Amino acid sequence: MAEGRIDRLLGRIWLDPEDPTALGLLRIAVVGVLTASLLTHTGAVADYFSSQAPLHGEWAREAFPSRVSLFFWIDSPWAVRGIFAIGVVAHVLWLVGRFTAPASVVAWLVWVSMSGRSPLLYSLPDQLQMVMCTLLVCMPSGRGVSLDARRRGPRTVPVWCRRIIMVQLATLYTATGLLKSGPTWHSDHTALYYTLVNPYNRHFDAAGFFAWLQPWLLRPATAVVLWWEILFAAFVVLHGLRALLGRPRWFLDLRWPMLGFGVAMHVGIQAALYVAWFSPLVLASYLAFLSPDEAQRLLARLGRRRR
Amino acid sequence: MSATSTVLRILHALVPTALVVAIVAPALPSARFGEFPSLVARGLLLVSIKQTWGMYAPDPQRAQTYMDLEALYDDGSTASLSESLELEHGWGTTWAWRKTRMDIWKFYANFHPDRRNDHRTWYLRSVCVREARTGHTPHKITMHQVKRRFTAPAKVARGAPGLGEPDRSLVTIVFCTTSPVREMIEDDRQLNPELHG
């Protein structure tokens, strides 16, 4: 009896099967961003990762001892370019969902090798690329909206796949929110102002305009952003609870306000600042919050529009 | 349900459970969880996964710093290196197509000017190799930092400029003719003779 209950609980939380459409859409969006990011290395691959880099060979291994990389051992410029090209092909196959599992492993190996060989070429926003890439490799993401699915027929995926992405987003936001302990976030509420005027990554030189916005827009927005981040984990817990209870009508669906704010915030960040691929990748990850039936409706709508 | 299928389900459930541990554990405070968070973090770092998230934390930057590199050659001449161009062009705006991944390394190399920073050490050694490829190996490279603080919004609203005056300070000196930089340059010369002028 107790064994049955535990099994049911395991099923509800992690193992129950669901339609693979939402996971398939998530794969396309995330791998699309990864592919675009990978392609921005084109033309500099040998300069960054081969023996032509100013830091190479045993010196590179000495500089980054805590990392593993194929390029520590295979470092002739043409071999490195060849591996990169294989990585591009693997990304395209992963994107369209053909030979998805092996393609995803090859793509992941290329990312591990690039990030491991020259970790200082990757910033904090790039961290999310490695994380999302790794999580997606662990999932049967080719079972939906893919060429593999077209050939082999529809197969379900476990519910944990989308939930893991939700846990990742919750950790990212809430940990960041809790670490924002300085006065610009908690007392003078100038954090957004200082973020927007940093010449290292600002798109617009408009300190005067932002200073004018500070008292009545940026100051309250700083507090709202902070609390939205801190509360994101609570939102994910409530969202998971709602799903476990079978999405009853009385249980408020918080996705619109929480994710809607996130979309607005990330679009704003992308418009105002250079943050590499962070915003597109986070927004792509939001697709994990689509239920399979919502994903199917979205696909059907897109299909109708195309016809 | 057979015993085998129960075991298989439990094993399957361990996959997402392990992923949750890998996601959450590195973000846990070591004061309460001891060595465990850093143990998980070190394991993940092997494959370049970092789960420490602290964007704009504890505060966003309130100043921007660029490096100013000057090479001194054996004949006594000096030259300002390409990094120093940012002192002229780095205070306006930027877009993705103007950035290269080397900008990120330079950013890390500027951290902790008054403390040891291995990222800076390796960056400057790489600069020695890069400059040696031009045919003129510097004897030494002097690194200064130029910092400009961001003016508080209340002052900007009253008409003050958005950026403060540049503040220049010495960070370090790297010698390109001593070990291990000398060996790095020699290795590079043997491996990439076509790149050396």
Closest-CA distance of chain A to residue B38, Å: 13
- Per-residue pLDDT, averaged over A29-34, amounts to 98
* Contact with chain A for residue B29, Cβ under 8 A: no
**Phi and psi angles of residue A17, each rounded to the nearest 5 degrees, phi first:** -80, 150
Contacts with A66 from chain B: Cβ below 8 Å? 42, 45-46
* Contact with chain B for residue A6, Cβ under 8 A: no
Give Cβ neighbours of residue A20 (< 8 Å, ≥ 6 apart): A140, A143, A144, A145, A149, A154, A155, A156, A157, A292
Under the banding of pLDDT at 50, 70 and 90, the label for residue A4 is: confident
pLDDT of A9: 86
- Per-residue pLDDT, averaged over A233-257, amounts to 95
- Per-residue pLDDT, averaged over A220-231, amounts to 98
Nearest to A168 by CA among A206, A208, A195, A128: A128
- Are the CB atoms for A43 and A84 separated by under 8 Å? no
Give dist(CA A144, CA A140) in Å, integer.
9
Indicate yes or no: CB of B92 within 8 angstroms of CB of A115.
no
Contacts with B122 from chain A: Cβ below 8 Å? 55, 59, 63, 120
- Are the CB atoms for A41 and A114 separated by under 8 Å? yes
How does pLDDT run across B138-173, given as a tens digit for each residue?
999 999 999 999 999 999 999 999 999 999 999 999
How does pLDDT run across A263-289, given as a tens digit for each residue?
999 999 999 999 989 999 999 999 999
Domain range summary for chain B, segments of one domain joined by +: 3-46, 63-195
Instruction: Compute the Cα dihedral for A132, A137, A142, A147 and give only its sign.
Output: positive
Contacts with B49 from chain A: Cβ below 8 Å? 127, 130-131, 134
Domain range summary for chain A, segments of one domain joined by +: 2-179+231-306
Q: What is the ipTM of this complex?
A: 0.94
How does pLDDT run across B72-125, given as a tens digit for each residue?
999 999 999 999 999 999 999 999 999 999 999 999 999 999 999 999 999 999
Chain B stretch 114-133, residues whose beta carbon is closer than 8 A to a beta carbon of chain A: 118-119, 122-123, 125-127, 129-130, 133
Q: How far is CA A294 from CA A21, A22, A228, A299, in A?
A: 9, 8, 25, 9
pLDDT of B1: 64
Under the banding of pLDDT at 50, 70 and 90, the label for residue B2 is: confident
Instruction: Specify the amino acid at residue B140.
Output: K
Chain A stretch 94-123, residues whose beta carbon is closer than 8 A to a beta carbon of chain B: 111-112, 115-116, 118-123
pLDDT of A272: 97
Chain B stretch 161-180, residues whose beta carbon is closer than 8 A to a beta carbon of chain A: 161-163, 180
Closest-CA distance of chain A to residue B149, Å: 10
How does pLDDT run across A74-90, given as a tens digit for each residue?
999 999 999 999 999 99
Judged against a pLDDT cut of 90, whether residue A166 lies above it is answered with: yes
Q: How far is CA A54 from CA A118, A120, B128, in A?
A: 11, 14, 9
Judged against a pLDDT cut of 90, whether residue A10 lies above it is answered with: no
DSSP summary character for residue A71: G
